Amino acid sequence: MEKLLYGVAYYDEYMPYERLHEDIKMMKDAGINVVRIAESTWSTLEPQDGIFNFHHIDRVLTAMEAADIKVIIGTPTYAVPTWMVKKYPDVLAVTPSGQNKYGPRQNMDITNPTYLYYAERVIRKLMEHVKDQPCVIGYQLDNETKHYNTCGPNVQLQFINHLKSKFQSLDELNKAYGLDYWSNRINDWNDFPDITATINGSLSSEFALFQRSLVTNFLDWQASLIRDYKRPDQFITHNFDFAWRGHSFGIQTDVNHFDAARCLDVCGADIYHPSQDELTGCEISFGGDLTRSMKQDNYFVLETEAQAFVDWVPYPGQLRLQAFSHLASGANMVSYWHWHSLHNAIETYWKGLLSHDFEPNPTYHEAKIIGKEFERLSPKLIDLKKENKVAILFSNEALTALNSFSDFHKGLEYNNVLRLFYDALYRLNVECDFIDPSTEDMEKYSLIIVPSLYSASDALLLQLNTFVENGGHIVYALRSGFADENVKVRYSHQPGIIGESCGIYYSQFVAAKDVTLKDYSYSINHEKTTLKTVIELLVPGSAEVLARYDHPYWGEYAAITRNHYGKGTATYIGCLPGSELMEEIMKGVLNDAKLWDNNLHFPLITKSGVNRNNKIIHYYFNYSMEPSSFQYSLAAGKELLSDSIINTGELLQIEPWGFRIIEEN
Amino acid sequence: MEKLLYGVAYYDEYMPYERLHEDIKMMKDAGINVVRIAESTWSTLEPQDGIFNFHHIDRVLTAMEAADIKVIIGTPTYAVPTWMVKKYPDVLAVTPSGQNKYGPRQNMDITNPTYLYYAERVIRKLMEHVKDQPCVIGYQLDNETKHYNTCGPNVQLQFINHLKSKFQSLDELNKAYGLDYWSNRINDWNDFPDITATINGSLSSEFALFQRSLVTNFLDWQASLIRDYKRPDQFITHNFDFAWRGHSFGIQTDVNHFDAARCLDVCGADIYHPSQDELTGCEISFGGDLTRSMKQDNYFVLETEAQAFVDWVPYPGQLRLQAFSHLASGANMVSYWHWHSLHNAIETYWKGLLSHDFEPNPTYHEAKIIGKEFERLSPKLIDLKKENKVAILFSNEALTALNSFSDFHKGLEYNNVLRLFYDALYRLNVECDFIDPSTEDMEKYSLIIVPSLYSASDALLLQLNTFVENGGHIVYALRSGFADENVKVRYSHQPGIIGESCGIYYSQFVAAKDVTLKDYSYSINHEKTTLKTVIELLVPGSAEVLARYDHPYWGEYAAITRNHYGKGTATYIGCLPGSELMEEIMKGVLNDAKLWDNNLHFPLITKSGVNRNNKIIHYYFNYSMEPSSFQYSLAAGKELLSDSIINTGELLQIEPWGFRIIEEN
Amino acid sequence: MEKLLYGVAYYDEYMPYERLHEDIKMMKDAGINVVRIAESTWSTLEPQDGIFNFHHIDRVLTAMEAADIKVIIGTPTYAVPTWMVKKYPDVLAVTPSGQNKYGPRQNMDITNPTYLYYAERVIRKLMEHVKDQPCVIGYQLDNETKHYNTCGPNVQLQFINHLKSKFQSLDELNKAYGLDYWSNRINDWNDFPDITATINGSLSSEFALFQRSLVTNFLDWQASLIRDYKRPDQFITHNFDFAWRGHSFGIQTDVNHFDAARCLDVCGADIYHPSQDELTGCEISFGGDLTRSMKQDNYFVLETEAQAFVDWVPYPGQLRLQAFSHLASGANMVSYWHWHSLHNAIETYWKGLLSHDFEPNPTYHEAKIIGKEFERLSPKLIDLKKENKVAILFSNEALTALNSFSDFHKGLEYNNVLRLFYDALYRLNVECDFIDPSTEDMEKYSLIIVPSLYSASDALLLQLNTFVENGGHIVYALRSGFADENVKVRYSHQPGIIGESCGIYYSQFVAAKDVTLKDYSYSINHEKTTLKTVIELLVPGSAEVLARYDHPYWGEYAAITRNHYGKGTATYIGCLPGSELMEEIMKGVLNDAKLWDNNLHFPLITKSGVNRNNKIIHYYFNYSMEPSSFQYSLAAGKELLSDSIINTGELLQIEPWGFRIIEEN
């Protein structure tokens, strides 16, 4: 990128009256230098089969060109037009609830040939039309693509072919998935049943993996179409989204982000987070670290909230705090969804930078400050690079598999465990990357954190043992190593292969009912050690016991252990702690790995990196309603917002929801 | 009416053994002078296609005639017979959940031609049979007719025709409803999609309006059939019901009552309310005021509870209190559903005046007292007329539209707002009428209360501005004026057109989280000003601020304002108060309009009107388990129950669940 | 049986690697002397249509024979193979939610001729193969058979035939079920509608009865097939299960156990119960008493938990306590589901005696103790007989009917009432049998307990009146006698026919809101008399009032009454007490019947019976985490576990979760 991008999604198609030049004037006032257009507008772009209308796109491109605002073109393919569904109802996906109806977006089967035919045609027509426009700097493939649980007969046929190529024989498949159970055995490929009601978690997990591969294939196919046209200076990106719990929360269940990102030049994501009293910055950091890790590079925040919902309208200062928090994680673009609030339909109350009245409002006024600061500080803040020593190893497969057995683990869910770790790191001001089972260069990290890696291949687990042996540090959460890559529970002593490096085994695990810890040295009150979901009854071998269960019958078993293995250590947490206890556990693990050297704690958050000029940049954010202060202990430098000199040891004050940016000399 | 009607629904068809003459004897003992028969009895009336059997109707009419009990004949059309469904399964409506199954009533498509053919034939046969019976005083069309969410392909085709006649062109429709969003644009009428899964609130609201019109058309059509036969002295009525929350609660979502009532001679309704400790009389008053307002005339309570459910069996005194409460709102009939408790099926536990044993029971014994009093006081109490100065403006369209966005307003629902206002008036003993957007003579009111009029035409809002300008008083609830009649949010400053008379604007609204009021002069403790759902951040122009938000960031904004505009005032409430605060707000508004002059408060409830002899009647009800007393401050008169003289200033005692009726001299 | 059986379900088919001989060695170490095999293994037994493979069965039988472990063969019919569903999709049952999908077991229509054809063939093939194996001691028909709510058109046709044979005419049926209501009348058999959405509780209850008869017929048919082959020394059993609320809870709604058991030689059941802190033994006792009562004989616990779920993994001592508790109720077999934990699919976390690692674990180690004790004490403990004087009269028909009206009774459910009685008896250490309306020899009991016998024939109620007249004692729960066998509410004074023996009547019943008792002599604090669901307003005739309602309006009515009728007494409880009050009520009733003579109370539980040698055996169980002691007051004898002499009056100590077994001299 040439400079930091500050953007909005803009839909000329949706305007209730002619606004284009007035909007551009207001954008310029706010420092908006990029707009994202065209995604979801298929019905205006191709109002009837084969009849194309570039009216809105043309006039917006012309106007943006004149205003020196850059444009990202989105392919319009995630919302199909009425005429297509009327002509070819089969484009609507069949899910376990039956065939989808028209109305919502993302209702189609992304493997349907008719849909693909039309999608290809509209993309090619669009590309022919826009590719030479100077203001067009890049393309977004589709939007928040997922598999939408498409599982009709055609998809199941493809899945059977996938299995045929994965397994040598049906015998092998039956054995790997344990299909003899409840007469689910398949003795002839022609007998393959509808899998939507399967009670076999191995089969359903493999189907989920297959469904995720459909997303990778779809985006890869769209990227190949774009590449037929795009200029070398134009990028391809995609707007990934995360597991949603009223806001961006965790690893996406329906996409393999690392796989799907391979076809992109720049990764993008939407990051939506709680705000007002609930604004912590944690989701900004989480989404940023994850998106940066997809290609180990800077990324775009293609969508984030301006006003959005009634409980997200930012307090004064929060919009600015949020924007710079994205930069601190390595974003090169912060773009709002969307410019103006919609006057009709389901997202009427997902408000944009402007309210329905298009008038300046407090949020817009704050955006104007951000825009000016982005422009001024762009050379210092763009392309922030990080060399983190901590990585979180996540796995889409473990997520699917663990969650499919959640009811049997008293509600244990993968993303809850992952976030429990991540959030503790965040509050302790330890930055991290994400890696997944495809990662080859684990060795560059000192500490790998492994949330409930329920299912994994022998190879991956052996790789982790080797990592420790060679001097790395690992911390495992409960249930790790339990099942193989086919979600067959290992029939060795648990936790299987990693038991070797962890120096423990267990054979029973029970509900965490009225169970706390004892015999620990963490600085935490006993009552705050209450455990959740399930506990594993660990028997230490070579491992040292960091805590035991406090319970009338399970008190003999270990809860948390640490083992020296080769040159490294492996810590195993056989239970699910609360967030405060997790911080204490992590402090211990970080100390083992010699990675914990700061005393700043949430709500004071710090992020660092190296800029284009190889200068070290430090951000300090005050995520609270109270003023904050701290003693700056690093090398002397300059505070960039105020352009003032900062000396080591100086006491810095930060106003509520405020922040400082220091460039070391 | 000749005299007050005291009635029951009577089903000779459902009797487990021969009871007719014994039942009539018991009815006479209880003063029952009207029975409602025949509705829902299609399968006994026409046991096979074209074969009619008037056995039950004939014997009941003959017996009632002899006993001098009047009869209302209900058309049997809301429960279709088995043979019809077996021959023509298509009469069962298709709803968003698929096609209905046989079993429940109201499962058919009220637009299905086969159903209409059979309904017409059975109505005509029935009318030919009963029209000349002297005891038959009127007819009830169908029962609790609604559209039952019929939305099959045939209904959607009719809806498309409705849209074709409403809009000049598809372009106009696409623009009005904002269908460009998410590619929902319809570029050819032939592309019109299944609308049951639409994400466009404008389209779904228009479909709801269209569905309500099906009810109006259906009742109108039934009325036209009846008119072909009925004697001039016979009336046509219908049994409307209200939005249901375990009891009659608010405006009906599925019927436009004012529209549908035009084909009737007398309006009727069923009014079911909590009882025992929860008996407040509020639903009796609400349902009465609403039904009286449909034609601005006296009305029938065609159904209300006798014993009904286990939590509705009345305490001693309650049945009588309830009966006279209906009269006090303007009812000319109080009729129980139903005479006897059913021995089979789903309403077995919706008990009648008699239990399953048909024996006298405490509730029946109380009915005997009521019957005698109705008979004796009928000349004084029948045809009570009211000239209310307060009206509540409701809107079916606003209800549908607001509720379709309820999730985005933290659960704000139309009927909750309406009842918040209504219930405050009720507890303050201020009687009111209901009006809807079709009302032309607003000017006869001094105060119009406008619950969240979320969607409304410019014309209506301008009419309201004029009403204030001419000296009227209005109080608006939050979200009023927000969208136009197509449920497109206005792109002016909010609250749009009414901002003019209210002297305010706002551009942001946020969740009401830990928000109370400050800077107010209401007599209420600060902690009781806690607000719910959402708050609008009001910026006063010419308006005076009655309260501001007490919140660290929204404290600069107004919460409640009052504006002098022309000769009147407009009060705007930008938030959702609790019930106690609402009473305080209403006291202020009523004082502005000089309409609050009594000090009686719930649980002492008073209602007034003028009787046939132009005498003023006052009712005083004690809705509590404790004795009550008050000083009677009006003109001297006579207490009608005790036939005793009452002087101004006299202290009146009322026993628990008791009441007094005073006729001014 | 020759000796006590200690068993496991064993699935060679599911093994992840060759384990047979190792497993048998571990079984022998644990005293396992019987395995249950083959049920649910159709897809391995008949991998393709007509191709049979006895590999697993053969090798297991051979190995068990050699190891002197007995085998029970289960027919594999409750889980259909993939090829059958692919060829004949119609074998999958149609339920009210549509047609079942492949995946789960028990998804087929047990009346489908294709399914029955294949089921018969595989059973016959299996029988031919195994019948002569000496180690095969018996056969289990299918498993946990129920009707699975099959209700497709074919089933409804059979139901119509059932009705045709039950009723003389449609008129009679219409009258019995009150079908005139809401036009549900059926005037021609050809008009018979889909009944799945019926609102008529009489019709739906009859359909439920019909569906239960399908189960009886199915098991009877399977038994007849087995009888064509089995040796005289081999038994036929079935594994019944109970109404499930996360564990075995109450009377099964979907099977008439007494009917279905007639085709068996020995009754069997699975009994799953809460464990750890929630282990009370109550479900072991309940399931045992019910299964023993099916044929008034000893029974098999064909399945119970070993480790099972995370909240059921037993504390030390609990597995042994449980095993002997089963014997104390009359079981001759205790068999775990299952030997080893499964490595795939939905029951992966329903763990067996072995964990997934197949290694000895604390639960397995405890089983080894049990196995030795079973072996040693078998001659003393097998075939324990009981002569109980108390019976609980349950009724599948009353259960279905009452529950269909549960919403109208504030959540009153049949099994809750039944368990309220049963659990009070259990805690008071009073043993009982179960009887149902088919029981002829009521006279052998002194006290019959009748939980909410909502629907019953005149004949049954008259039989109960006679029982009292002849000197028996009865206690009725609310709602008893209310409706006839067609679920038509009686139109006499309630409680109908039994009102005669109870000496009461009532005509109204109301919600139990803030209602307690007064005027009672039970030893219980007033606040613990709070009543639930509904109360009947009882008017005593000849009955004595044991308690009245404490309520401002219902205080004049009786709540609990007792009546001397003939030589016996009838107690009527018109309300739903809490568990402590129920114990007090039962103490009174038991005293009336002279049946309460012990002072031991839960958590100390005692059970008794007579063994093969006509010796009296007493068990004493300590169901708590605390040590317990009591003075032994019965005849001197021997404590069998310790082989020590016990004298009358001796103080016995029992360790937590421990027990003693005393054989009187």
- Across the interface, which of A191, A508, A513 has its CB nearest the CB of C307? A508
| pLDDT number for residue C210 | 98
* pLDDT tens-digit series, residues A237-256: 999 999 999 999 999 999 99
Please, which pLDDT band fits residue C597 given cuts at 50, 70 and 90? confident
For A17, name the nearest residue in chain B, comparing CA atoms only: B491
* Interchain proximity B86–C193, CB inside 8 Å: yes
* Interchain proximity C193–B103, CB inside 8 Å: yes
Chain B positions touching C178 (Cβ under 8 A) are: 14, 16, 342-345
In which residue are the tokens 């039934």 written?
Answer: B222
Q: What are phi and psi of C577, to 5 degrees?
A: -80, 170
| pLDDT number for residue B2 | 87
* Interchain proximity B344–C186, CB inside 8 Å: no
- Across the interface, which of B193, B202, B553 has its CB nearest the CB of A102? B193
State percent of chain C over pLDDT 70: 100
For C174, name the nearest residue in chain B, comparing CA atoms only: B14
- Across the interface, which of C16, C355, C361 has its CB nearest the CB of A488? C16
Chain C positions touching A511 (Cβ under 8 A) are: 276, 309-311
* pLDDT tens-digit series, residues A401-447: 999 999 999 999 999 999 999 999 999 999 999 999 999 989 999 99
Structure tokens at B297: 């005339």
On the 0-12 / 13-18 / 19+ scale of CB atoms within 10 A, C17 is exposed
* Interchain proximity C361–A508, CB inside 8 Å: yes
How far is the alpha carbon of A28 from chain B, nearest alpha carbon, in Å? 21
* Interchain proximity B103–C188, CB inside 8 Å: no
Identify whether the C-beta of residue A649 lies closer than 8 Å to the C-beta of residue A628.
no
* pLDDT tens-digit series, residues C513-536: 999 999 999 999 999 999 999 999
| pLDDT number for residue A598 | 72
Mean predicted lDDT score pLDDT of chain A: 97
* pLDDT tens-digit series, residues A209-236: 999 999 999 999 999 999 999 999 999 9
Most distant CA atoms of chain B, gap in Å:
76
Identify whether the C-beta of residue B345 lies closer than 8 Å to the C-beta of residue C201.
yes
Chain A positions touching B192 (Cβ under 8 A) are: 82, 86
* pLDDT tens-digit series, residues A270-324: 999 999 999 999 999 999 999 999 999 999 999 999 999 999 999 999 999 999 9
* Interchain proximity B508–A307, CB inside 8 Å: yes
Mean pLDDT across B274-303: 98
Partners of chain B (3+ Cβ pairs below 8 A): A, C
For B89, name the nearest residue in chain C, comparing CA atoms only: C193
Please, which pLDDT band fits residue A11 given cuts at 50, 70 and 90? very high
In which residue are the tokens 């009685």 written?
Answer: C421
How many CB contacts within 8 angstroms connect chain A with chain C?
A: 162
Chain A positions touching B494 (Cβ under 8 A) are: 355-357
A contact test, residue of C348, C358, C655 with most A CBs within 10 A: C348
* pLDDT tens-digit series, residues A478-501: 999 999 999 999 999 999 999 999
| pLDDT number for residue B600 | 95
* Interchain proximity C199–B359, CB inside 8 Å: no
What is the rounded CA–CA span in Å between residue A635 and residue A254?
Answer: 44
Query: Radius of gyration (Cα) for chain C, nearest Å?
Result: 26
Please, which pLDDT band fits residue A391 given cuts at 50, 70 and 90? very high
* Interchain proximity C510–B310, CB inside 8 Å: yes
Q: Can you say whether residue B184 is alpha, beta or left, with left for phi > 0 and alpha for psi between -120 and 50 degrees?
A: alpha
What is the rounded CA–CA span in Å between residue C116 and residue C122?
Answer: 10
* Interchain proximity B177–A101, CB inside 8 Å: no
Cα-Cα-Cα-Cα dihedral of A290, A296, A298, A303, to 10°?
-30
| pLDDT number for residue B67 | 98
Identify whether the C-beta of residue B111 lies closer than 8 Å to the C-beta of residue B150.
yes
Identify whether the C-beta of residue B640 lies closer than 8 Å to the C-beta of residue B664.
no
Q: First CA to last CA across chain C, in angstroms?
A: 24
Q: ipTM of this model? A: 0.96
| pLDDT number for residue A599 | 83
| pLDDT number for residue C582 | 98
* Interchain proximity A82–B200, CB inside 8 Å: no
Chain A positions touching C342 (Cβ under 8 A) are: 178, 181, 489
Q: Does residue C598 carry a pLDDT above 80?
A: no
Q: Of A19, A137, A104, nearest to B199 (Cα)?
A: A104
Neighbour tally for C613: CB within 10 Å:
10
Mean pLDDT across B540-552: 98
* pLDDT tens-digit series, residues B291-345: 999 999 999 999 999 999 999 999 999 999 999 999 999 999 999 999 999 999 9
* Interchain proximity B316–C188, CB inside 8 Å: no
How far is the alpha carbon of A525 from chain C, nearest alpha carbon, in Å? 25
| pLDDT number for residue A280 | 98
- Across the interface, which of C82, C100, C344 has its CB nearest the CB of A191? C82
CB under 8 Å to C62, separation ≥6 — which residues?
A: none
Reported pTM: 0.97
Helices (H), ranges, C405-549: 414-427, 458-469, 499-502
State percent of chain C over pLDDT 90: 99
Structure tokens at A552: 């009338």
* pLDDT tens-digit series, residues C281-338: 999 999 999 999 999 999 999 999 999 999 999 999 999 999 999 999 999 999 999 9
Q: Does residue B366 carry a pLDDT above 90?
A: yes
A contact test, residue of B99, B163, B181, B188 with most A CBs within 10 A: B181
What is the rounded CA–CA span in Å between residue B18 and residue B60?
Answer: 12
Per-residue burial over A261-295, b if 16 or more Cβ lie within 10 Å, else e, is bebbebbbbbbbbbbbeebbbbbbbbbbbbbbbbe
Mean pLDDT across C459-483: 98
Q: Of A437, A447, A332, nearest to A378 (Cα)?
A: A332
How far is the alpha carbon of B483 from chain A, nearest alpha carbon, in Å? 8
Please, which pLDDT band fits residue C395 given cuts at 50, 70 and 90? very high
* Interchain proximity B180–A346, CB inside 8 Å: no
DSSP letter string, B333-352 = EEEEE-SB--SSSTTTTSB-
How far is the alpha carbon of A172 from chain C, nearest alpha carbon, in Å? 11
| pLDDT number for residue A1 | 72
What is the rounded CA–CA span in Å between residue A170 and residue B333?
Answer: 76
* pLDDT tens-digit series, residues A325-362: 999 999 999 999 999 999 999 999 999 999 999 999 99
Please, which pLDDT band fits residue C500 given cuts at 50, 70 and 90? very high
Q: Of B263, B251, B253, B154, nearest to B218 (Cα)?
A: B263
Mean pLDDT across B490-513: 97
- Across the interface, which of A17, A43, A103 has its CB nearest the CB of B197? A103
For C310, name the nearest residue in chain A, comparing CA atoms only: A510
* Interchain proximity A104–B182, CB inside 8 Å: yes
For C555, name the nearest residue in chain B, comparing CA atoms only: B315
Chain B positions touching C184 (Cβ under 8 A) are: 43, 79, 82, 103, 345
Long-range contacts formed by A12-19: CB under 8 A, 24+ apart:
A12/A37, A12/A56, A12/A59, A12/A60, A13/A41, A13/A44, A13/A56, A13/B180, A14/A342, A14/A343, A14/B178, A14/B180, A14/B181, A15/A340, A16/A343, A16/B175, A16/B178, A16/B488, A16/B491, A17/B491, A19/A340, A19/A358
* Interchain proximity B41–C178, CB inside 8 Å: no
* Interchain proximity A183–C40, CB inside 8 Å: yes
Strand, helix or coil at B301? strand
Q: Does residue C56 carry a pLDDT above 90?
A: yes
C contact test, residue of B83, B87, B310 with most C CBs within 10 A: B310
Chain A positions touching B185 (Cβ under 8 A) are: 43-44, 47, 81-82
On the 0-12 / 13-18 / 19+ scale of CB atoms within 10 A, B97 is exposed
How far is the alpha carbon of B503 from chain C, nearest alpha carbon, in Å? 50
Cα-Cα-Cα-Cα dihedral of A206, A211, A217, A222, to 10°?
-170
Mean pLDDT across A97-104: 96
How far is the alpha carbon of A378 from chain C, nearest alpha carbon, in Å? 54
For A363, name the nearest residue in chain B, comparing CA atoms only: B508
CB under 8 Å to B322, separation ≥6 — which residues?
A: B273, B275, B279, B281, B284, B304, B314
Mean pLDDT across C246-271: 98
Identify whether the C-beta of residue A353 lies closer than 8 Å to the C-beta of residue A307.
yes
Neighbour tally for B253: CB within 10 Å:
19
How far is the alpha carbon of B147 from chain A, nearest alpha carbon, in Å? 22
How far is the alpha carbon of A240 from chain B, nearest alpha carbon, in Å? 18
Q: Does residue C1 carry a pLDDT above 80?
A: no
In which residue are the tokens 């040693």 written?
Answer: C376
| pLDDT number for residue C463 | 98
| Nearest-5° Cα angle at C500, C498 to C501 | 75
What is the rounded CA–CA span in Å between residue C480 and residue C456?
Answer: 8
How far is the alpha carbon of C87 from chain B, nearest alpha carbon, in Å? 28
Per-residue burial over B135-144, b if 16 or more Cβ lie within 10 Å, else e, is bbbbbbbbbb
Please, which pLDDT band fits residue B614 given cuts at 50, 70 and 90? very high
Q: How far is CA C123 from the centre of its chain?
A: 27
Q: Does residue B598 carry a pLDDT above 80?
A: no
* Interchain proximity A309–B492, CB inside 8 Å: no
Chain A positions touching C100 (Cβ under 8 A) are: 197
| pLDDT number for residue A535 | 98
Chain A positions touching B536 (Cβ under 8 A) are: none
- Across the interface, which of C186, C491, C507 has its CB nearest the CB of B361? C507
Please, which pLDDT band fits residue C596 given cuts at 50, 70 and 90? confident
B contact test, residue of A342, A356, A366, A626 with most B CBs within 10 A: A356
What is the rounded CA–CA span in Å between residue B193 and residue A84?
Answer: 10
Please, which pLDDT band fits residue A87 given cuts at 50, 70 and 90? very high
On the 0-12 / 13-18 / 19+ scale of CB atoms within 10 A, A383 is middle
Neighbour tally for A637: CB within 10 Å:
20
Q: Of A597, A551, A543, nearest to A390 (Cα)?
A: A597
Partners of chain A (3+ Cβ pairs below 8 A): B, C
| pLDDT number for residue A482 | 98
Strand, helix or coil at C444? helix
Identify whether the C-beta of residue B656 lies closer than 8 Å to the C-beta of residue B627.
yes
